[in-house]
Chains A and B, each alone.
Chain A
């Protein structure tokens, strides 16, 4: 018994020592960043825009290499991250609330505790939009129409069980209304359907509609302050609706990452967030930056998990 304890203790000390040594020289080889989507998508662009700045602030001649592992809406990539060695040489992109919702609506190969939470990078708030000639110009118009004729208003969105869907669930609960959900395959066809008047309104992220000010009315933005991408569009709060919701993209590592390496990585993200060049690069790619690291990121994930769980239990989508 004693020897086992002793061995364990020695092993523990050695691991700590090795860990400290690890962090000092970290990184001594290229770090792989697994992106669960194809090259060119929103998450991929976030990763590829962010990584040069992380290299800069990690120092030590760090090199971060993006590896695209697309498939099953990010499931294949994030499962690979969850199962990787927590040595700091495998990181992965993490999307909220999608990654958490998938642990509810299917059997996932990971859960909330499979990761070391490094930093959320992007928070792209939801918006509700209508076409210019729909006759729906404000949230009041929309809610009045929905109350008058429940389920008559069709709402286009990119999928069920994503941030768009959760915003609608919150709105329905808050205003005691009911809408007919029309989940397209991706946001581009949904946006075209709103423009063509095939659905009454649509729910998107602000980055997806910022370029369409000529065709679409933004009825409300789901973040506390107005978005720099659509400064003329009112927030929901301005209109008396406490709706805060969006699509988050961040970076995680497998659970059990040594604390000092995690601290070093978080520090790099925090420094990057202050870098004006980084902020500009992200703005150029229509990525609203909202860097949140460590424990705060974990709490954010928990709150979105709870929201998804509540939605799943009250109105399951499959």
Chain B
């Protein structure tokens, strides 16, 4: 199997495929650097345009964008204390204080090197874990897949932080959208209002573009350009001089990589949670925790390693079980399906060159980060923050409209996307989290279909859902996710008086 990995390598270096990764990384950094624009948004706007491309060109673009955006988010996080993507929130804690001390350039270099290391670790995890795990997936029948979906929904609702009630409402909205269309077993119409266009349900990209791209663009146009960044006084030195200053961070890099990979594999959780966890763990392990929050470069390293380390690993459940754990993985899975790559045990046998090529592209995307995001380029990327907003906003809107129209070639989808955009904008203003909507749509469909299949197999006996170890383990994990935070709070509260 690992021989296939090497066999796929030459194709990755075909110039079109390699150029796709380079362009993807650059585009990703740009998108990530724009506050509000996220990797999810960029990839969902891109997917419809990749239908006609060679698989590795399309997938290389996506892998590049994902890696690039996860680092790009650090640029405004450090310079303006505005996280460019949700995953870069933890980067602001020490990144911005560093910039105020005149060490903004070094902060960005720590960010780019850490991002790259996280991304490389994640790509290796994907290469090494996905092929053997894809064989284990035969153990996952309908009842097990049902529990994976329930576990994913529970994690996104309870672990996302903030308000679980709002998370639950968002997830329910997503699950509701998943029931639209024909019934998965009997084929009856549900909530289609006689529209033939609705019979297949709501295409995930339509929802994603509406929810993730429209509200930030409106925001972008609403808020005037904040502070201009004077990129000449970032205090950057050449990256080869900066790297030796980071040699003490290897433990943080290692820890951040493991946390990021693990969080990525779990369905539901994503980059921002990985970054927070990694930051907290690194601070706890630090000899001088009092410097954290005051401009400790290691804090930037912890956050940026972890938010890149979940990128490729988030694809492990998507490629093996067909269950995407994050919104980005869901869009990427959509891109894979378009190119005829069916997730599951057959994927690595039927299309080894494309799948392994895609994994290599993740690895090279991560390596390219250092080269493209290195000292010189960082200055120019920082200048992007001064781009005129109306120009940017209108370009994105046009791309959104064309992209959504081209999925099925019909205006109906465009109106639907604009409708979701309006809903997303209101939800954003009321502080309802958006990721549970997307995962509700994806996992809700999986949960329903597999619950019903499992019950048919058990001829109506619900005990069929608890009949084997895999199911029981998943149930235990779900319960832990739901009651875990409460218990932790209680414990903390009971310790305080003592």
Contacts and interface: CB of A to CB of B under 8 A. Distances in A.
B199 A71 contact: yes
B199 A75 contact: yes
A109 B188 CA distance: 16
Contact of B408 (A71, A159, A184): A71
A40 interface: yes
Contacts of B456: 154, 180-182
Interface of A: 38-40, 69-73, 75-76, 79, 105-106, 109, 151, 154, 159-161, 180-185, 188-189, 192-193, 195-199, 317-318
Interface residues of B, number: 34
Interface of B: 51, 137-142, 182-189, 196-197, 199-200, 322, 338-340, 342, 344-346, 408-409, 449, 453, 456-457, 459
A76 B196 contact: yes
22 contacts: A40-B340, A71-B199, A71-B200, A72-B182, A73-B199, A109-B196, A151-B459, A154-B456, A160-B185, A160-B186, A180-B457, A183-B185, A183-B453, A184-B453, A185-B449, A188-B342, A192-B344, A192-B345, A193-B141, A197-B141, A199-B457, A318-B186
A196 B197 contact: no
Contacts of B342: 188
Contacts of A183: 185, 453
B138 A195 contact: yes
Nearest to B321: A192
A151 B182 CA distance: 26
Contacts of B344: 188-189, 192
- Secondary structure at chain A's binding surface: helix, strand, loop or mixed? loop
B328 to A, nearest CB: 22
B138 A39 contact: no
B442 to A, nearest CB: 14
Q: Ordered nearest first, which 9 A-B pairs have the shortest CB separation?
A: A198-B141, A318-B186, A72-B199, A196-B138, A40-B340, A188-B342, A318-B188, A182-B456, A72-B196
Nearest to B195: A72
B183 A318 contact: yes
Contacts of A40: 338-340
Contacts of B184: 185
A79 B196 CA distance: 10
B189 A106 contact: yes
Contacts of A188: 342, 344, 346
The winner among B187, B339, B449 for most chain A CB atoms within 10 A is B187
A106 B344 CA distance: 32
A198 B199 contact: no
Given A40-B340, A71-B408, A318-B186, 17 more contacts: A40-B339, A70-B408, A71-B196, A72-B200, A75-B199, A106-B187, A151-B459, A160-B187, A161-B187, A184-B453, A188-B342, A189-B344, A192-B137, A195-B345, A196-B139, A196-B141, A198-B142
A189 B137 CA distance: 11
A154 B141 CA distance: 13
A188 B349 CA distance: 14
A216 to B, nearest CB: 12
A317 B183 CA distance: 12
